Structure 1
Amino acid sequence: MTLPSHARVVIIGGGISGCSVAYHLAKAGWTDIVLLERKRLTSGTTWHAAGLIGQLRGSLNMTRLAKYSADLYVRLEAETGISTGMRQNGSITVALTPERHEEILRQAGLARAFDVDVSEISPSDVKALYPHLNVDDVVGAVHLPHDGQCDPANIAMALAKGARMMGAAIHEGVKVTRVLDNGARVTGVEYDAGGGESAVIACEHVVNCGGMWGRDLAATSGVTLPLHAAEHFYLVTEPIQDLTRLPVLRVPDECAYYKEDAGKMMLGAFEPKAKPWGMAGIPEDFEFDSLPEDFEHFEPILGMAMHRMPMFERAGIHTFFNGPESFTPDDRYYLGEAPELGNYWVAAGYNSIGIVSSGGAGMALAHWMTEGAPPFDLWEVDIRRAQPFQRNRKYLAERVSETLGLLYADHFPYRQVETARGVRRSPLHEHLKARGAVFGEVAGWERANWFAREGQERAYRYAWGRQNWFDNQRAEHMAVRERVGLFDMSSFGKIRVEGRDACAFLQRLCANQIDVEAGRLVYTQMLNQSGGIESDLTVTRLTETAFLLVVPAATLQRDLAWLRRHLSDDFAVITDVTAGESVLCLMGPQARDVLSRVTPDALDNDAFPFGTAREIELGYGLARAHRVSYVGELGWELYVSADQSAHVFEALMDAAPEIKLCGLHTLDSCRIEKAFRHFGHDITDEDHVLEAGLGFAVKTGKGEFIGRDAVLRKREAGLERRMVQFLLRDPERLAYHNEPIYRDGALVGTVTSGNYGHFLGGPVAMGYLPCKGQSVAEMLSARFEIDIAGQRIPAQASLAPFYDPKGARMKL
């Protein structure tokens, strides 16, 4: 076997993911594509996958990728001559509880919004479609007629053949030992040439599609790829007489899925407590292998299946299979360019949905690589969301024991993970815990989400309606609106940019005017060439040559990568200083009075206007106070050195016992009343900054910056849609995310984010409405409804915030 000495791209891993990337890069016109597989194609996870094709995912863009996969698999056979086994026999999901029924009804509304054929069906309808099923305790169900199933190994082989037909080279039995780089970007791969020798293929791009091997390979290049293998079980019966073709069946309340294939029945499980595997690494000779049986572990699932489908009491077991699959800490796969190393790309960690995902993921990654940007917003699977600490193998092993089961758990809003917690804590963590904090986790940070009353259970009781902390949130919310509240926002990402060219560098990246006097704070976005929002942040000029950028905790790695990618020849240094300072947000109409009790510094509007930062004395310490607000009230963000944080907190609480401690749920309910946007939901890299209603933060007159031309083009052409705030008329029906929006009975969009507006007295939602050729009056003079679990709730729409539309309260 002769391998080339150079290639444009080397793809590592010959499962369905790697084969899809090779196919789509070739389809896009790239040549010199080399795929290297350590053993044989499909020999890791692909060969034993169940092959379920469910087109509805949790968001529009993930659904677009899944639908693309289904369409691709249908046409691959004609293109390559290899049968894919793809048949669209439909799927049914049944609910055994009212809570699950609400979930699947919400999913049905989502499906209609995403143009996926769906219908709600009764238990008797389920029985007609699935005669073998016991429906005595079924509450309801949904049917998706165009879902289906396929032969995963054959699809991978068809993709590989298609790639070869277009010129890609695929080599089996070649193990990549490391990826080479020059400190900034990849330069090649080293592989085992046999006989103790190694060889190199020089290349411009590498794609890690290594599945459960991918994490350790990435680590050798300093790339964070947090995934871990877990055991995944299913059984296949002996042939069952007169068994006809059936839809795929999911019974998530019993952690089970069912698939008929060639007259046999498969039963698979997503058990609540899974078994991590491969903690010491994947065995070198692992190929088309299974893991030891553990029937005791699977027995509870089979017991429920015998009740659900009595044929399992009589059918013999042909195969009981246990095979490893890769899972990630948040049940979402990884796609995109690694932030640590240029041209190191990733497509891995598919959480048991690799077959339905890989077709679309390969298309999206190929577009990203060839065009320089993804085809649409892919933040939820972007590798840049991964946190460096998540490489820790003990953390991953514990977390994936939970995430496998979460795939079929109730997907309640605000659901918190329970494993591998407490990794990152604010210096105030124990202070808040002692005062009733109930914590959630974002990017590893433990953050107070709400505060329990004395004697109240400090735990979530999940529901689709008002949860057990609803009244706690109301008390916190109204304290911020009427008196004063204190938030610990130490998890904010903090990036220091400094040096001779720091100002010019940020001027080029940010849409707002950054060249302001020291002590000024600027709200801005960093845009891409299409005018989409890559980052939403504040920039504070500390000195002539030093700036502090404050970003959401979840986007820190993304924002650092964006900055470093564009640094070029600028004389500037970018430093993550997140852990160095705590942030205490003192907010509410009494904030000035409270703060004046612990500082001798002037806080009036003349001495300390809105949008400025000053160093002030606090207790016995020093802090940098930023006068800014994400809740729409008078307030300051107090940036305090981590070693002084506890003292400043104590000084504030001692001086003003009336301060109400508030959590992140209240921060969100306050910001949505004020119609402040939330990155990742309301604004993403495919949302134009003008259509998002953020044109006030764009200064085209300052000179060139990334996205300026797109802003000017949009101003000339006019907006096609606008961000709108909604107030729902029914105070009991809550919107969270992705609920369909109807205008005069026509579907026009989906909710981007929602929460309860306690001051306004009802649920509040955000979303985009089409507006091309319409005046504001024409756009809003309509009958609006939000679909919540099949019930359309009347809603009032507004372009201006319902709360304090002129923003006067922040400048009191």
Structure 2
Amino acid sequence: MTDHARTDYARVVIIGGGAVGCSALYHLAQLGWTDCLLLERDELTSGSTWHAAGNCPNFSTNWNIIKFQRHSTELYARLGEEVDYPINYHITGSIRLAHSQERMDEYWHVVAMARAQGIDFELLDPAEIKAKYPFMELHDIVGGLWDPHDGDIDPSQLTQAYAKGAKDKGARVQRFTKVTGLERTPKGEWKVITDKGDILCEIVVNAAGYRAGEIMAMVGQYMPIVSMSHQYLVTETIPELESYQGKLPLMRDPDVSYYLRQERHGLILGPYEKERAQAHWLDGIPEDFAYQLYPDDLERLETYIEAAIGRVPILGKVGVQRVINGPIPYSPDGNPYIGPAHGLPNFYQCCCFSFGIAQSGGAGKTVAEWIAHGEPEWDFWSLDPRRYTDYATKSYVVDKALELYQNEYAIAYPSNEWPAGRPAKVTPLYEKLKAKGANFCARGGWERAAWFPQPGADPTPRPSFRRSNWHDSVAAECKAVRERVGILDLGGFSKLMLDGPGAAAWLDGMICGKLPKTGRITLSYMLNDKGGIVSEFTITRLAENRFYLISAAAAEWHDIDWIEKHLPADGSVTLSNVSARMGSIIIAGPKARELLSQVTETDLSNKAFPWLSGREIEIGFARMLALRVNYVGELGWELHCPVEHMVSVYDRLWAAGEAHGIADFGMYAMDSLRLEKCYRGWKSDMTHEYTPLMASLDRFVDFQKPDYKGLKALTAERQNGSKERFVPLLLDDEKDCDAPACAPVYLGDYYVGLVSSGGYGHTLGKSIALAYVRSDLAKPGTELEVLVLGERRKAVVAEEPLYDPENARLRM
């Protein structure tokens, strides 16, 4: 076979030759996937890679992204030697400064996560900071965080090392080859059209950096991506650094918003401007933009330069040697896209990295595992391209990217509802709830009421790692639901209709539980082959072969892709997305039946309308599906109502409910109520890293069914025992904070578990943490400790559910 013939086919084609694309090629080759071809339109590194500062932090406020970045830094320490390509990689350690206790709270949480993963982060007092960084002034500093593994790397050398390592195993790199089109062939392959000829392949990986949106346009999709200009300056030689023994740690001052790093005997200063961030190329990227920069604009950086000189005075003693002002791609939340593209079989994204050098190692590992194994080792919903659906338009992306860049170093509070790009999706009740004073949160793009300020309460949200100013208002909402009746506009459920003569048989083979009878409801799970939880559905059987599937708002594209990937090819099952056609109004509380009986003629008695059943009912001029189920653990109904009737239905319910003390409640109250019932959240308490047995969902697993996806793995796990189990923990003290997600759990000096979600149970008057712990410790009464903001808190394993253990209130 000639060389020319070989280039006509590859199993995988990767588009983009920056650090991320070359890492994907390298990691695929490491997994034995060597029939892979990387295409680069110019020279390797000619996009954002070549001008990147090359900083390599391990720090993140996300549990799995810490793992992700640590994979990178551990790889960089050995990569040059492994592939026999020299790399300038300096491990200097880094200091993140804190000007406030709020920032230190964030650092306490990150340090706890890192240490639980075996990464020796430390918190420093001002004197310890000075000892590590003698040129620093300490005014306004209360402390800092030390990452001993941080440092910097030469981005071009890193990229070439990846490429060499991949080529040594047989993978190929083709430079100066521009992709001009992508087509799906009748056989299901991809045809990659280039200016050097066509290439057929099984799988495409879009690693095109800031040009990733251009690649998606070739397949008719819009990618939520925008290029921001990031500017940093490099100083002339500083005499004090010439004579300094060693190399200064990288320093970040997040409360001011810049990083400062030694480069040879000078310094690199890189601010993230809080007011003058700039998005570029809103009308398209110049065709010939490669190895180019934007014009210098130091005026934007003046206040940051002054602040940095005040912090490190030697910075002000010399001039600027050069200025780098280049494009960096941003998504709306700043996280990259890694994983399957929605609606495109065998098409993967690995792009939109605003921290591509630090994350390239983890990115290559993750996308290679998606391709080779069907999913990555770690659940990365926070990076999944399908986390954004059709609401992520160009205007939305630009607004969010500007907001994000301006707040790149903002404190990552557990509940901070950033305002840009909102409202993107609203129900017809949005204006009505807004007029009532609701504070909103966005979930899957949908605006939902978060909380309603009580009379006289401060209506402005003040996020914190500690209990916030909405605490008492949320308590009042919880009390209304538990004692009277509450109403909630729950916009944005993913709502799918499954039909066809083969629907029942197919669905039975996809879920781990039993199918409900006609008119009844069940909660069930779709699993992967390893038994990991992929999706959670509330399933209502409307007829023998007609099912209504409800899942999380954010899961819409994810769940559609999963189902469509597994549908039978004979057309016996069809899937319809009715998410946008139906709203959801929740009525819950001991007075729910009395209220609802006043607005409908349907018999709502337990005999006629039992718990976990669904009926069509009428309220006024509206006909809707009423489901006797809810997420708060009270007597109640979900009313799945055509959107055009939502206002009239809400008004009738409110008018009828006033005599019963009806109250609006929001998502923060719902979260408190569901914690008391130990109801799990998708992608918080349940990910593909956990099986239903690990998640203590044994009651939803049917081992009598002859087969379904994941059964073999669950059977083996049942025989061998689960390593971890889900338990509720009650923190037995009076503090002003609750366990945040990913707080570590300890038994003495041993790390034994991880909190998946936590908060305050207003009905119980207790701080609750839902957690995965070592199976031998999952017995009620076991005493453990949860590390919360630097403090070991005593916690006791309790029996679930914590509230109403017999579910008597649901069955009232």
Say whether the fold is shared (TM-score over 0.5). Answer: yes
Equivalent residue number for residue 569 of structure 1: 569
Checking the alignment, whether the CA contact within 8 Å between 2:228 and 2:329 is kept in structure 1 is yes
**SS in structure 2 opposite 1:578?**
coil
Equivalent residue number for residue 556 of structure 1: 556
Equivalent residue number for residue 317 of structure 1: 320
Q: TM-score, normalised by structure 2?
A: 0.96
Equivalent residue number for residue 210 of structure 1: 208
**Correspondence list, 1:82-161, <5 A:** 82-161=85-164
Q: Give the whole-Å Cα distance in 1 for the aligned partners of 2:214 and 2:445.
A: 21
**Correspondence list, 1:295-694, <5 A:** 295-351=298-354, 353-390=355-392, 392-454=393-455, 456=457, 458-514=459-515, 516-570=516-570, 571-657=572-658, 658-694=661-697
Deviations 1:672-701 (A, max 9, x none): 111111111111011011110111111122
Q: Give the whole-Å Cα distance in 1 for the aligned partners of 2:150 and 2:574.
A: 51
Q: Give the whole-Å Cα distance in 1 for the aligned partners of 2:289 and 2:330.
A: 18
Q: In the alignment, residue 790 of structure 2 is paired with which amino acid? A: G
- Of 9, 12, 15 in structure 2, the residue corresponding to residue 9 of structure 1 is 12
1:628, CA displacement in angstroms? Answer: 0.6
Q: Give the whole-Å Cα distance in 2 for the aligned partners of 1:584 and 1:631.
A: 13
Equivalent residue number for residue 741 of structure 2: 737
1:160, CA displacement in angstroms? Answer: 0.8
**SS in structure 1 opposite 2:110?**
helix
Q: In the alignment, residue 809 of structure 1 is paired with which amino acid? A: R
Percent identity (aligned) = 37
1:499, CA displacement in angstroms? Answer: 1.1
Equivalent residue number for residue 192 of structure 1: 195
1:731, CA displacement in angstroms? Answer: 3.8
**SS in structure 1 opposite 2:796?**
strand
Q: Give the whole-Å Cα distance in 2 for the aligned partners of 1:593 and 1:743.
A: 48
**SS in structure 2 opposite 1:700?**
coil
Checking the alignment, whether the CA contact within 8 Å between 2:73 and 2:149 is kept in structure 1 is no
**SS in structure 2 opposite 1:425?**
coil
- Whether 1:747 aligns to 2:745 is no
Q: Give the whole-Å Cα distance in 1 for the aligned partners of 2:70 and 2:465.
A: 28
Deviations 1:530-560 (A, max 9, x none): 1110011101111222211000101111111
Checking the alignment, whether the CA contact within 8 Å between 1:222 and 1:340 is kept in structure 2 is no
1:108, CA displacement in angstroms? Answer: 1.1
Checking the alignment, whether the CA contact within 8 Å between 2:185 and 2:191 is kept in structure 1 is no
Q: Give the whole-Å Cα distance in 2 for the aligned partners of 1:159 and 1:795.
A: 46
1:109, CA displacement in angstroms? Answer: 1.3
Q: For structure 1, which segment, 308-317 or 148-157, has the greater mean C-alpha deviation from structure 2 after superposition?
A: 308-317
Q: Give the whole-Å Cα distance in 2 for the aligned partners of 1:457 and 1:216.
A: 46
Deviations 1:274-317 (A, max 9, x none): 21111111111111111122222211211211211112222211
Equivalent residue number for residue 709 of structure 2: 706
Q: For structure 1, which segment, 471-480 or 180-189, has the greater mean C-alpha deviation from structure 2 after superposition?
A: 180-189
1:458, CA displacement in angstroms? Answer: 4.0
- Of 768, 773, 794 in structure 2, the residue corresponding to residue 769 of structure 1 is 773
Q: For structure 1, which segment, 480-489 or 295-304, has the greater mean C-alpha deviation from structure 2 after superposition?
A: 295-304
Checking the alignment, whether the CA contact within 8 Å between 1:223 and 1:338 is kept in structure 2 is no
CA gap of 1:183–1:214, structure 2 versus 1, over 3 A, is farther
Q: Give the whole-Å Cα distance in 2 for the aligned partners of 1:612 and 1:99.
A: 47
Q: For structure 1, which segment, 71-80 or 88-97, has the greater mean C-alpha deviation from structure 2 after superposition?
A: 71-80
Equivalent residue number for residue 253 of structure 1: 255
1:716, CA displacement in angstroms? Answer: 1.2
Q: Give the whole-Å Cα distance in 1 for the aligned partners of 2:672 and 2:768.
A: 8
1:183, CA displacement in angstroms? Answer: 7.4
Q: Give the whole-Å Cα distance in 1 for the aligned partners of 2:519 and 2:218.
A: 42
Deviations 1:468-507 (A, max 9, x none): 2111100001111111111111211101111111111211
- Of 227, 232, 257 in structure 1, the residue corresponding to residue 225 of structure 2 is 227
1:185, CA displacement in angstroms? Answer: 4.7
Gaps of 5+ in 1: 194-198
**SS in structure 2 opposite 1:336?**
strand
Gaps of 5+ in 2: none
Q: Give the whole-Å Cα distance in 1 for the aligned partners of 2:347 and 2:508.
A: 28
- Whether 1:293 aligns to 2:293 is no
Q: In the alignment, residue 82 of structure 2 is paired with which amino acid? A: E
Q: TM-score, normalised by structure 1?
A: 0.96
**SS in structure 2 opposite 1:424?**
coil
Checking the alignment, whether the CA contact within 8 Å between 1:84 and 1:150 is kept in structure 2 is yes
Checking the alignment, whether the CA contact within 8 Å between 1:328 and 1:403 is kept in structure 2 is no
Q: Give the whole-Å Cα distance in 2 for the aligned partners of 1:183 and 1:803.
A: 56
**SS in structure 2 opposite 1:555?**
helix
Q: Give the whole-Å Cα distance in 2 for the aligned partners of 1:731 and 1:537.
A: 36
Tell me the matched-pair count.
800
Q: Give the whole-Å Cα distance in 2 for the aligned partners of 1:440 and 1:382.
A: 21
CA gap of 1:183–1:116, structure 2 versus 1, over 3 A, is farther
* RMSD of equivalent CA atoms: 1.6
**SS in structure 2 opposite 1:100?**
helix
Checking the alignment, whether the CA contact within 8 Å between 2:342 and 2:386 is kept in structure 1 is yes
Q: For structure 1, which segment, 452-461 or 324-333, has the greater mean C-alpha deviation from structure 2 after superposition?
A: 452-461
**SS in structure 1 opposite 2:708?**
coil
Deviations 1:126-181 (A, max 9, x none): 01110111112110112111222111111001111111111121111111012211
Checking the alignment, whether the CA contact within 8 Å between 2:458 and 2:469 is kept in structure 1 is no
Q: In the alignment, residue 486 of structure 2 is paired with which amino acid? A: G
- Of 28, 33, 36 in structure 1, the residue corresponding to residue 36 of structure 2 is 33
Checking the alignment, whether the CA contact within 8 Å between 2:781 and 2:798 is kept in structure 1 is no
Deviations 1:219-257 (A, max 9, x none): 321345321110111111101113141111111001011
Checking the alignment, whether the CA contact within 8 Å between 1:251 and 1:257 is kept in structure 2 is yes
Q: Give the whole-Å Cα distance in 2 for the aligned partners of 1:185 and 1:387.
A: 25
Checking the alignment, whether the CA contact within 8 Å between 1:627 and 1:635 is kept in structure 2 is yes
Deviations 1:74-131 (A, max 9, x none): 1121123322211211111110111111111221111111211122111011011101
Q: For structure 1, which segment, 754-763 or 558-567, has the greater mean C-alpha deviation from structure 2 after superposition?
A: 754-763
